[in-house]
Amino acid sequence: GAALGGRGLLALAVASGATAWATWAVVLMPGFRRVPLRLQVPYQPSSPRQVANALALLRGRAGKTVDLGSGDGRLVVEAYKQGLRPALGYELNPWLLCLANYRAWRAGYHGKVSFLKKDLWKVDLSDCNNVIVFLAPSVKPPLATKLLAELPDGARVVSGRFPFPSWTPSSTLGQGLEQVWAYDMKEVRQAAQSSAQG
């Protein structure tokens, strides 16, 4: 085709900017409205390898499994598929909740998995055995405090993309952006108590 002229390039740049802004305003921003700036986490879908690695670290476990900031629901659906039940996700963004429910319906799990519009900072996690966390580094320190206070000793936390900075993982899988870390709460508590005593 013919080369773009100056007007064509300008129109393309304006259209691209408008599309990016519309995506932010309609899809991403609604989940951020009630969340403090430092705790906001942009939506970034997990890759198939990240999902596989996270669930490999939960293989053989049982009990309630939750994904904090579940986005489009792919981790919750896959957790249910691998026998982790009940499986549910907490997400504030209504558009992502719709996408998650559609994903569950397409997989044949509608009504079997749950996606709840709840702030992860306000949910009670005391009955959770498995927690999946694919969140930004800025969220990890305050979230570590919440998890330590609420999760039972037998719980396991699997973190994707970024580790918890003050915890030592019991196992890890993958490399680079696909690396995931598993933390067993009993070990995390014992390390925290030893550190406090020392």
pLDDT for 172-198, tens place per residue? Answer: 999 998 999 999 999 999 998 888 886
Tokens of 136: 């930004």
Residue ranges making up the domain that contains 29: 6-33
20 with 113, same domain? no
The predicted structure's pLDDT at residue 41: 52
* Cross-strand pairs, 182: 158, 171
The predicted structure's pLDDT at residue 195: 80
Cβ neighbours of 57 (radius 10 Å): 24
User: For the domain that residue 168 is a member of, what is the CATH number?
Assistant: 3.40.50.150
Looking at the predicted structure, is the pLDDT value of residue 20 above 80? no
Q: Which residues 6+ apart lie within 8 Å of 45 measured at CB?
A: 71, 72, 74
Give domain status of residue 41, yes or no.
no
